């Protein structure tokens, strides 16, 4: 990518999608849909790179408005920011960089937030008309042990009235890391590592599930046990809603298929993509989500998926 392109001299303002690999990301398309509808001469430029120094240089441009930060930079970016929002500090990861001028010094501040948590929350509330009957006041379940799993725990615990959160994963050390980190940040109480079907059998069924793992058939003994634990929960009497965060290359995954067969409402990962992206544009444009072209974004992402 040329530095001429990265300077974005033809734009009034510009941002970046910073990560690697990002070739399949729908983020620039989502944001361009918003800017075009608002008649803003803005763009989000893909920066497929692991070069943090280059990124830190580029964001000093006067017309830079912010960036989507994705893997592998969501944690490493923290040390380079001036201020973190409560969500970013609690999850320990940033997916959104925005700028503000300090009221004291007038100096530009580089701010970090995490809109993944909003994407997870809104996926449920925008699609489930009866949250009290479906997931409020019930246990929740998170599959996986990475950054998305931490975001899911935060959203479920902070906003979605989960009484406790079951963690289902092939790797016990990953689960321990999630529990330890969430506890250190003040929201780790009531996290339960569910490692066997015997354990799952006697537990109350969840109302909300967030699946944060790639779409592949379980192969190892640990993967097969984790899948059986999930199937045990899906088979319980109460049927809730499951958000399948994996949407590439196809949003309809094995887990989505099993869940639907068991009578669960399946929410596609593109829902989380859309709502976290609109939340980013709220920070960048200063407009409320209600003033953004929500229906157009939903339509454009849906068309892109059909390909």
Domain of residue 175, CATH code: 3.40.50.720
Segments forming the whole domain that contains residue 103: 3-114
What pLDDT was estimated at residue 249? Answer: 79
Mind listing the pLDDT tens digit for each residue in 183-230? 999 898 899 999 999 999 999 999 999 999 989 999 999 999 999 999
In this structure, is residue 149 part of a structural domain?
yes
Residue 74 annotated to the active site: yes
64 occurs within a structural domain: yes
Of 74, 107, 236, 306, which is the active-site residue?
Answer: 74
Using DSSP's 3-state secondary structure scheme, residue 18 falls into strand
Q: What is the pLDDT of residue 250?
A: 83
How many domains is the chain partitioned into structurally?
A: 2
**Are 148 and 110 within one domain?**
no
Closest CA to 152 of 116, 102, 204: 116
Look at residue 1 in the predicted model and tell me its pLDDT.
46
Per-residue model confidence as pLDDT tens for the chain (307 residues) = 444 445 577 899 999 999 999 998 999 999 999 999 999 999 999 999 999 999 999 999 999 999 999 999 999 999 999 999 999 999 999 999 999 998 888 899 999 999 999 999 999 999 999 999 999 999 999 999 988 899 999 999 999 999 999 999 999 999 999 999 999 998 988 999 999 999 999 999 999 999 999 899 999 999 999 999 999 999 999 999 999 998 877 889 999 999 999 999 999 999 999 999 999 999 999 999 999 999 999 999 999 988 7
Q: What is the pTM for the complete model shown?
A: 0.93
Q: Tokens 């045990």 appear where? A: 232
pLDDT attached to residue 6: 54
Using N-to-C axis directions, what is the helix angle for 172-184 and 147-158, rounded to 10°?
50
Q: Of 262, 192, 255, nearest to 227 (Cα)? A: 255
**Are 92 and 184 contained in the same domain?**
no
For residue 126, tell me if it sits in a domain.
yes
Domain for residue 223, yes or no? yes
């Amino acid at each position: 990518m040329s530095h001429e392109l990265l300077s974005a001299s033809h734009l009034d303002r510009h941002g970046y999608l910073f990560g690697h690999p990002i070739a399949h990301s729908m983020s620039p398309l989502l944001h361009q849909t918003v800017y075009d509808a608002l008649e803003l001469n803005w763009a989000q430029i893909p920066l497929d790179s692991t070069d943090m120094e280059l990124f830190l240089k580029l964001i000093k441009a006067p017309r830079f408005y912010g960036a989507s930060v994705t893997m592998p930079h969501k944690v490493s970016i923290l040390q380079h920011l001036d201020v973190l929002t409560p969500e970013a500090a609690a999850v320990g990861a940033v997916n959104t960089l925005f700028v503000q001028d300090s009221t004291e010094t007038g100096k530009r501040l580089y701010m970090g937030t995490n809109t993944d948590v909003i994407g997870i929350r809104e996926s449920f509330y925008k699609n489930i008309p009866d949250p009290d009957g479906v997931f409020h006041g019930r246990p929740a379940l998170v599959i996986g042990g990475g950054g998305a799993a931490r975001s899911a725990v935060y959203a479920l615990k902070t906003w979605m009235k989960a009484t406790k959160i079951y963690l289902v994963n092939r790797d016990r050390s990953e689960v321990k890391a999630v529990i330890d980190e969430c506890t250190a940040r003040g929201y780790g109480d009531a996290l339960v590592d569910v490692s066997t079907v015997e354990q799952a059998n006697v537990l109350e069924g969840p109302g909300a599930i967030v699946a944060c793992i790639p779409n592949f058939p379980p192969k190892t003994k640990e993967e097969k046990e984790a899948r059986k634990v999930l199937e045990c929960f899906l088979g319980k009497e109460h049927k809730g809603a499951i958000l399948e965060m994996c949407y590439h290359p196809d949003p309809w995954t094995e887990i989505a298929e099993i869940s639907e067969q068991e009578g669960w409402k399946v929410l596609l990962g593109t829902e989380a993509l859309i709502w976290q992206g609109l939340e980013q544009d709220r920070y960048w444009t200063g407009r409320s989500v209600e003033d953004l072209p929500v229906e157009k974004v939903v339509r454009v992402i849906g068309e892109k998926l059909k390909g």
